[in-house]
Structure 1
Amino acid sequence: MRKGILPIVLGIIIAFAGTRLVACAGPVWPNQDEQRFLDAYRDYVDKNATDDQLDRADNLFVETVQVLRETYVFDVDTAKFVDDAIAALPKLEETTDRSPDNIVGEALDQSLHDLDPHSAYMSEDMFKRLQESTEGSFAGVGIVIAQDEDKQIRIVSPIDDTPAARAGLQPNDRIARIDDHDMKGQPIAEAVRLMRGRVGEPVKLGILRKEKSFDVTIKRAKIEVPSVTASVIDNDIPYVRVSRFDANTLEQTQDYLQELKEKVRNPRGIIVDLRRNPGGLLDSAADMADQFLTKGLIVATEGRGERKMRTYEADRSSYFDGIPMVILLDRGSASGAELMAAALRENGRGVIIGERSFGKGSMQRIMPLSGGGGVKITTGYYTTPENHIVQGNGVVPDIEVQLKDAEEFDREIDLAHALPPRRRDPRKTITTVQADNCAANIDIERLGNGGFHPEDQAPNPQTDEIEPQDGDKTADNAQADKGEPPHDEVLECAVGYFNNGMLAQYRSQVEPLLRAGL
């Protein structure tokens, strides 16, 4: 491991993360402002709440305000924060769970979201699930699910060699019930929650398959979900897709890179695909970039008052050193994916093709609270090797490839209470092309067992361990029904960059700039 990196078991993934887990301070006495909230929230809790429950909830609030005061990326007006938390209480009158912990947690969550979109309170259950997701494994049945237009939970595919696959579940099966809970109209988050459990515990699924309906009981098992897949394109282009950065990403990547190195003796180029990658563990993203860099700064963090807090330097031997590289980004590439792409380009290693990325360049820390649960607090900005900041700006591709009929898409800067941008990279896109103008037929040989491939799935379907962002059915899901991979025009355009495709004419413009560090 790189010197100074926290043990990977301490990292916690978030939706777009690059996150660290640290310990909170113990119980502290409330100040005058904090006491105002402690007096106010008691009017909204269950009248039968015990003194111990109230004391634990009091400490939860005071600890959180202390963390904000000491670590938030900007100075926080704690008196206003308390006022906002008090103002949130009347909105909780219809809440069914009126325990002190839940009332305080809900008020905290709303007030934290008013600071920025990524700061949040997490209940004990949410905190545990977040920890599980960083490990790249979970206890469940092993299926990829989506929600169709009829608000039914649909199986996109069972993951190979899992209890769901062995039980004979098939793509396009509908899950009507989970342990006798009717799932019609229920969100995917509820299906995720109900299918989780302890290893060896059974879960009963009510399945609809065409005109048939039947029940199947499946024992939960530890499910390993790959974050990396790899292929060989047109016999001589290694292709690595990274769908997120978790605790297993580096090991999976190194295994694939070694296999690709042995399989492709004279590579024409290499493609690293970071599209739809929402981020994850910062250490993992930095280690991934380090696989292709022999030296140079990868990323740094900048805290309150633009104080530099931490740096990640390349110190590994480089795979495919000297081989031309393309990095694929799109509007769904965020956080660690953006930082990895910027590090490779700014160190002169690769050309970015695709779309401007999401623009999430803030750092969160996950801090456990002494009474259970935790808080996710924004503590800084990430800076690229050339001291640019991704937050609110995104990473601009060297060559932009536009998809036909692309829908409008909110980026980080469009989110409510988004942190302000700083120090934008002045680079400009060299050219913009339409994807269907440069697409071409390519031959893809997949490595591995040929099972679950994240690149074949739309961003929306979810495995049953991950909280969904959007469960609606998409056109790509319809292709998944037939077992056919979606037509990937952007990838086809990128392959053309290495040979005689439409984008090849720009090699002479882009690569000298890379070598010059521009």
Structure 2
Amino acid sequence: MFAVLISFAGTRLVACAGPAWPSDEERVFLDAYRDHVTVNATEDQFARADKLYTESLQVLSETYVENIDTPVFVQNSIAALDGLEVDDTSPTGIVGAALDDSLHELDPHSAYMTDDMFRRLQESTEGSFAGVGIVISLDDDKRIRIVSPIDDTPAARAGLQPDDRITHIDGYEMNGEPISEAVRRMRGRIGDPVTLTILRTKDSFDVTVKRARIEVPSVTAGTIDNDIGYIRVSRFDATTLEQTQDYLSQLKDKIASPRGMIVDLRRNPGGLLDSAADIADQFLNKGLIVATEGRGERKLRRYEADRSDFFDGVPMVILLDRGSASGAELMAAALRENGRGVIIGERSFGKGSMQRIMPLTSGGGLKITTGYYTTPENHIVQGHGVTPDIEVHRNDVEEFEREVDLAHALPSRRRDPRQSLASIEAQTCERDIKIDRFGAQAGRENLDVENEDDETPAEAFRDSVLECAVGYFSNGPLANYRDQVEPLLRAGL
């Protein structure tokens, strides 16, 4: 549920140090917010809230990816005060809410985090958290938008879909509410139900979901038609590398002569930068995976391949779609630009910025954008996304916002000039394939979707994009392009 906080790459904890004294501009806000505190507060509480604001401005001025216009930021904070609708009207509650609103004015991914939010972030990056299992964000109208349900969670089983809007939670209207409030209302005791009112296109309906401990494997795997390896990475957290290595070892044992390898990154919202680079490294034995740069294009860090190369020499397909973001995009670009695999699917989401978590001595902390990640060929996917080598069009997909469509999105930079080499309709790829899953998903057919009515049989669901990928390795429509694409891939074009 709190996966919006794992949908960024480059997570690092950085302690803040040094005194923070208010400037004249900051003092204007510190005077203004006191009129909005409606509880009896002590001088110590006001002093802590004052420090929270001034320390936050100091951190932003030193580490944000762009130069901060302090007077404008302060005026945005003051303007936010009149529109605040928060339950916590203590000094820290008011200042934190105004900070959060002002940070969203900088870019969609920067935010203020309370101590409780820090705890939930730690849970999410460790691979488990309590909730219903959805990735959420705010759209331009400040409505809660579902980016994607997480595989095999109550939200996914309830049929929630990407681009659904959550208009109410247990009857409480969410329009204009911050993500933190949506998270708070969807959390609760395991087993207790929560009712979400969903707006899908023009239809509105209620979905009741039972809260659960979300311990979701970030990796699943299997074999297709006995000789094609398949591995799906749904996010990048602290456990993803170990899971990936285990599944890749199992795949090597199960397939004596692999015909191909499919790495499925569809609907992967990202996660930890180190984890994404480590997974890419499993398929590369040399070359740059990703680099990062900060303010003024200052180079920050490089990740070089140095691990074993699973399935060396075996043709590879990487699947992307419009829900693939951040770490999923950098991994796909790294594999392609190192000549390791061809990308099939849709242009990805286009989130190429990285965030750091900055704990504050005054309590809580900041999640702020500190830089961009760059691909091996020095491209930046921010605002552009990753263009597939072979684009697959699905008739059942509705367009939804990408990074560049979000309010206050950071500008696009250094676009990869590649264009798709081919375009195909998904239905032309339909073919019967056999998937044998193992591990956590063993016994579940990935092509079957259960209906909400248990008394009716499950409807067959065709993953035509996956079927296209399988056809690339054999006699499907995309096989016609294989002889053209593979030489270009090996040449790094």
TM-score range for the pair, normalised by the shorter chain length: 0.7 to 0.9
Corresponding residue for 1:368?
Answer: 359
Report the secondary structure of 1:21's partner residue: coil
- One-letter amino acid of the counterpart of residue 494, structure 1: A
Which shifted more, 493-502 or 96-105?
96-105
Q: CA deviation at 1:17?
A: 3.7
**Structure 2 CA distance for partners of 1:452 and 1:364, relative to 1, 3 Å:** farther
Query: Are the equivalent residues in 2 in contact too, given 1:493–1:503 (CA < 8 A)?
Result: yes
Corresponding residue for 1:270?
Answer: 261
Report the secondary structure of 1:280's partner residue: coil
Report the secondary structure of 1:126's partner residue: helix
**Structure 2 CA distance for partners of 1:483 and 1:370, relative to 1, 3 Å:** farther
Residue-by-residue CA offset, 1:475-517 (whole Å, 9 max, x unaligned): x976999655632000001100000100001111111111111
**1:429-440 paired onto structure 2 within 5 Å:** 429-440=420-431
Compute the RMSD of aligned alpha carbons: 3.4
Report the secondary structure of 1:301's partner residue: strand
**Structure 2 CA distance for partners of 1:391 and 1:482, relative to 1, 3 Å:** farther
Corresponding residue for 2:46?
Answer: 54
Task: Tell whether 2:488 aligns with 1:517.
Answer: no
Residue-by-residue CA offset, 1:106-145 (whole Å, 9 max, x unaligned): 11111111111111111222221111100002357xx768
Q: CA deviation at 1:183?
A: 4.0
Corresponding residue for 2:244?
Answer: 253
CA distance in 1, matches of 2:403, 2:190: 40
Task: Tell whether 2:349 aligns with 1:358.
Answer: yes
Query: Are the equivalent residues in 2 in contact too, given 1:241–1:455 (CA < 8 A)?
Result: no
- One-letter amino acid of the counterpart of residue 23, structure 2: N
**Structure 2 CA distance for partners of 1:32 and 1:315, relative to 1, 3 Å:** same
Query: Are the equivalent residues in 2 in contact too, given 1:195–1:203 (CA < 8 A)?
Result: no
Q: CA deviation at 1:451?
A: 6.1
Report the secondary structure of 1:277's partner residue: coil
CA distance in 2, matches of 1:398, 1:286: 21
Q: CA deviation at 1:159?
A: 6.5
> Could you tell me which of 267, 289, 297 is aligned with 2:288?
297
Q: Percent identity at matched positions? A: 68
CA distance in 2, matches of 1:202, 1:249: 25
Query: Are the equivalent residues in 2 in contact too, given 1:303–1:381 (CA < 8 A)?
Result: yes
**1:71-90 paired onto structure 2 within 5 Å:** 71-90=63-82
Corresponding residue for 1:401?
Answer: 392
Report the secondary structure of 1:310's partner residue: strand
Task: Tell whether 2:60 aligns with 1:68.
Answer: yes
Corresponding residue for 1:28?
Answer: 20
**1:204-223 paired onto structure 2 within 5 Å:** none
Corresponding residue for 2:476?
Answer: 501
Query: Are the equivalent residues in 2 in contact too, given 1:13–1:246 (CA < 8 A)?
Result: no
Which shifted more, 408-417 or 331-340?
408-417
- Normalised to the residue count of structure 1, the TM-score between the two structures is 0.79
CA distance in 1, matches of 2:369, 2:445: 29
CA distance in 1, matches of 2:453, 2:426: 19
- One-letter amino acid of the counterpart of residue 374, structure 1: G
**Structure 2 CA distance for partners of 1:40 and 1:330, relative to 1, 3 Å:** same
CA distance in 2, matches of 1:77, 1:492: 51
Task: Tell whether 2:328 aligns with 1:337.
Answer: yes
Query: Are the equivalent residues in 1 in contact too, given 2:234–2:267 (CA < 8 A)?
Result: yes
**Structure 2 CA distance for partners of 1:47 and 1:230, relative to 1, 3 Å:** closer
Report the secondary structure of 1:238's partner residue: strand
CA distance in 2, matches of 1:448, 1:202: 25
CA distance in 2, matches of 1:309, 1:221: 39
**Structure 2 CA distance for partners of 1:453 and 1:51, relative to 1, 3 Å:** farther
Corresponding residue for 2:228?
Answer: 237
CA distance in 2, matches of 1:310, 1:485: 46
Aligned length: 450
Report the secondary structure of 1:91's partner residue: coil
Query: Are the equivalent residues in 2 in contact too, given 1:329–1:397 (CA < 8 A)?
Result: yes
Task: Tell whether 2:13 aligns with 1:38.
Answer: no
Query: Are the equivalent residues in 2 in contact too, given 1:250–1:287 (CA < 8 A)?
Result: yes
Query: Are the equivalent residues in 1 in contact too, given 2:451–2:458 (CA < 8 A)?
Result: no
**Structure 2 CA distance for partners of 1:115 and 1:329, relative to 1, 3 Å:** same
Consecutive unaligned residues in structure 2, runs of 5 or more: 136-148, 160-168, 196-209
Query: Are the equivalent residues in 2 in contact too, given 1:335–1:361 (CA < 8 A)?
Result: yes
**Structure 2 CA distance for partners of 1:230 and 1:25, relative to 1, 3 Å:** same
Query: Are the equivalent residues in 1 in contact too, given 2:39–2:90 (CA < 8 A)?
Result: no
- One-letter amino acid of the counterpart of residue 62, structure 1: T
**Structure 2 CA distance for partners of 1:452 and 1:446, relative to 1, 3 Å:** closer
- One-letter amino acid of the counterpart of residue 497, structure 1: Y
Q: CA deviation at 1:95?
A: 3.6
